[in-house]
Amino acid sequence: MGQPPRRAQALRVALLGYGTAGAHFHAPLIAAVDGLTLTAVVTSNPTRRDQVHRDFPDAHVLAEPGDVWADRQSYDMVVVATPNGTHVPLAKAAIEARLPVVVDKPLASSASEAKGLLRQAEAARVPLTVFQNRRWDGDFRTMRRLLTSGAVGHPLRLESRFDRWRPTVAAGAWKESAADAGGILLDLGTHLVDQALVLLGPVRSVYAEIDTRRSGAAVEDDVFLALHHASGARSHLWASALAGQLAPRFRLLGDAGAYVTWGMDPQEAALRAGRKPGSPNFGERPAAEWGKVGAGDAVRPYRTLTGEWTRFYEGVVTALTTGAPMPVDPRDAIRALAVLDAARRSASTRTVVDV
């Protein structure tokens, strides 16, 4: 059976930013999804402008976001893939232009900021969503299936890690700047908390340890969060730039067994290497890297589902063309940011903090 026909009227996308997020995540995913076309990319960096011309010769390259707002009728949606500190002002400008907007995580620097942005979007009736792509990691999809099937029983504890070995501070990088809302808590912690909330539900309280370990670092680079969920389950979440050896990516303990998996979802590495979504074996884990499920002596490999980040943008297309809900509710992002806000309070007071 042949490929389904492409939509006659693809949604025209203006992508703001062509750094790591724009070039390696959003642009290739947008290009791979039926119903979307990358119409314009905004970047003032000469090297990145040249890169856009090479990667997407049919896309317009614009110098500043104002060029999009001035020509609002030429676009159907905006994607904000710029440094964290610019997410809210750029999303607000998109809403004022009556353009549906996708904001790369984090939606904002705090829950209060995110609530204000959502109020503005709702008042203007402009669709708003957040790029929480890690919901479509293969191992996370697998874990959700195991919980639904009852394979590990009632969940008791989730251990989840985003660990890296990056001992040297990257000079001039915005992620190393407090003024740009950098730091590992908003960067990787946003993913960790979002996944914990999706898997185990609302959080009652948080205990956190937030540290700056690397010489010359201006923002936190090593964090631990302990979440107590309303269900009674607990999440232990780690993110570090100084993990010289890696622990399991996920360890889910239930009253009937456990699921343990190692290593990161392969989609990021594939995209950074220039592979395209939809290419052979994209997002698949080889059998040698599958996680294991069971308890005691009855532990067996369990096939890791394929990672499918394109499903986020497929959901955006469905929402904007049919009126269905966006693939990620911005209220979910507010709940996650409330947990991160509580984590900062916990770390500063060295106490357990209610959310």
User: Can you give the pLDDT at residue 5?
Assistant: 39
Can you give the residue ranges of every domain in the chain?
11-131, 134-308+338-354
Q: What is each CA distance from 124 to 27, 68, 94, 157, 193, in whole angstroms?
A: 27, 18, 11, 41, 29
Paired tokens of 343: 């984590």
Paired tokens of 108: 């904002």
User: Can you give the pLDDT at residue 2?
Assistant: 36
Pick the CATH number of 134-308+338-354 from 3.30.360.10, 3.40.50.200, 3.90.1170.50, 3.40.50.300: 3.30.360.10
- Structure confidence by residue, pLDDT tens digits, 13-43: 999 999 999 999 999 999 999 999 999 999 9
Burial class (CB within 10 angstroms; exposed 0-12, middle 13-18, buried 19+) of 224: middle
- The phi, psi pair for 157, rounded to 5°, reads -150, 135
Query: What superfamily in CATH does domain 11-131 come from?
Result: NAD(P)-binding Rossmann-like Domain (3.40.50.720)
Cis previous bond, 266, omega within 30: no
- Over residues 319-328, the mean pLDDT reads 97
Is residue 6 pLDDT above 60, yes or no? Answer: no
- Over residues 3-10, the mean pLDDT reads 55
- Over residues 186-195, the mean pLDDT reads 97
User: Can you give the pLDDT at residue 9?
Assistant: 87
User: Can you give the pLDDT at residue 41?
Assistant: 98
What lies within 8 Å, CB to CB, of 50 at 6+ separation is none
